[in-house]
């Protein structure tokens, strides 16, 4: 197991803009129950999901990322950044990375642009990366986008994953600033456990399967998840990472005003919040409407909450995520005044 955390440097990454995008097509639990052996009641009770947005035929991750990125740049009033970091598990193509194309379509040709792959922890891994680019002086301004089109990866006939995963994008603009400012990203706690890499995987399509000379097995090009094991690890890892991030920021649990966790499954979120001692009114949630959108989940949640009044300037926010790899992370942020 590897794990690291970094303490805030005096030159910190400060959030100045937020945006999100959901593709227009909506799939309800009834739609799924019409073609799979499942029910609205099972999906709501076991996952907390009622509807989810999905890409239309031909739409790709970059299309979601560009729209969310455009909105975040508008929110920041920032026409130009020095780097575009894209967290995704569903790149448009296996090669090259999707970020350079996204940057070009956003009028940012020429800047540093690369993808970060950490499955559902992608936003927090990319946030730490963006903060590092700023701390090192490589960039003054970074556009961080997290976008996933998970419905292109799951087997539409696999009821255990097709009911959970969905598509969307969220984005944040960060600039160099001071660790004491509102909007400064706190210490980011990150961790991984590659010994459990097979709990969430797409077995085919990578160098392991290709070099074997064997064609992909049935279903091996789709996303597979050992749901019960993931559930257990997600609760434990997000709880521990949250505690570490709070301690690293010098906060107490009672200082947390809003809890913004990766929207994996409503029961997982409730369990983590209960263990941390965070009451329901402090928990931000949109999983009922949008499902599990992978890396996009946290910035999508923040953007929606900032727009609908669920999140206000000055509030202490705790962020945490867990995903395949296994990977996890957590950090803190005092929410800034942002245009939405």
Residues forming the site for ligand ACO (CB under 6 A): 38, 42, 46-47, 119-120, 159-160, 163, 200, 225, 227-228, 230-231, 234, 264-265, 268, 292, 322-324
User: For residues 96 and 106, what is the distance between their CA atoms, to the nearest angstrom?
Assistant: 18
176: closest CA among 141, 128, 222, 214? 141
Assess whether 292 carries a catalytic annotation: yes
Interior angle at CA 50, CA 45 and CA 56, nearest 5: 140
Is residue 222 annotated as part of the catalytic site, yes or no? no
Q: What residue ranges in the chain does DSSP mark as E strands? A: 2-5, 11-21, 25-28, 51-54, 83-87, 112-116, 141-149, 167-178, 189-192, 200-201, 224-225, 258-261, 316-323, 327-334
Q: Are strands 327-334 and 189-192 parallel, antiparallel or unpaired?
A: antiparallel
What 3-state class would DSSP assign to 175?
Answer: strand
Catalytic residue among 262, 265, 286, 316: 262
Catalytic choice (20, 29, 53, 120): 120
Least CB distance from residue 325 to ligand ACO, whole Å? 9
What Rg do the C-alpha atoms of the chain give, in angstroms? 19
Interatomic CA distance for residues 219 and 210, integer angstroms = 15
Q: Examine the residue annotation and report whether 120 is marked as an active-site residue of this protein.
A: yes
Closest separation in Å from C-beta 333 to ligand ACO = 21
Nearer to ligand ACO, 124 or 135 (CB): 124
Q: How far is the CB of 324 from ligand ACO (least distance, A)?
A: 5
- Alpha carbons within 13 angstroms on the beta-carbon side of residue 1 total 9
- CB-CB contact of 296 with 321 (8 Å): no
Catalytic residues: 120, 262, 292
């Amino acid at each position: 197991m590897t794990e690291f955390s970094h303490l805030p440097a005096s030159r910190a990454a400060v959030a100045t803009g937020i945006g999100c995008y959901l593709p227009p097509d909506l799939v309800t639990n009834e739609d799924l129950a019409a073609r799979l052996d499942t029910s609205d009641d099972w999906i709501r009770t076991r996952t907390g999901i009622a509807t989810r947005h999905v890409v239309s035929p031909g739409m790709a991750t970059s299309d979601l990322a560009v729209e969310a990125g455009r909105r975040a740049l508008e929110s920041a009033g920032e026409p130009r950044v020095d780097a575009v970091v894209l967290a995704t598990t569903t790149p448009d193509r296996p090669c090259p990375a999707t970020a350079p194309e996204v940057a070009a379509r956003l009028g940012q040709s020429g800047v540093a642009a690369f993808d970060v792959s950490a499955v559902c922890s992608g936003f927090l891994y990319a946030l730490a990366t963006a903060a590092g680019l700023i701390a090192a002086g490589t960039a003054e301004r970074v556009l961080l986008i997290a976008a996933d089109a998970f419905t292109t990866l799951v087997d539409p006939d696999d009821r255990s994953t097709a009911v959970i995963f969905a598509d969307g994008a969220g984005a944040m603009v960060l600039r160099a600033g001071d660790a004491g400012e509102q909007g400064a990203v706190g210490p980011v706690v990150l961790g991984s456990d590659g010994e459990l890499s097979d709990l969430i995987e797409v077995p085919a399509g990578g160098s392991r399967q290709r070099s074997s000379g064997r064609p992909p097995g049935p279903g091996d090009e789709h996303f597979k998840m050992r749901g019960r094991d993931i559930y257990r690890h997600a609760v434990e890892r997000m709880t521990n990472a949250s505690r570490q991030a709070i301690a690293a920021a010098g906060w107490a649990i009672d200082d947390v005003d809003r809890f913004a966790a990766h929207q994996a499954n409503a029961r997982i979120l409730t369990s983590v919040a209960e263990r941390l001692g965070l009451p329901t009114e402090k928990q931000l949630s949109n999983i009922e409407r949008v499902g599990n959108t992978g890396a996009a989940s946290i910035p999508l949640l923040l953007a929606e909450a900032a727009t609908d009044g669920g999140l206000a300037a000055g509030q202490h926010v705790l962020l945490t995520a867990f995903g395949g790899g296994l990977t996890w992370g957590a950090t803190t942020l005092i929410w800034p005044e942002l245009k939405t």
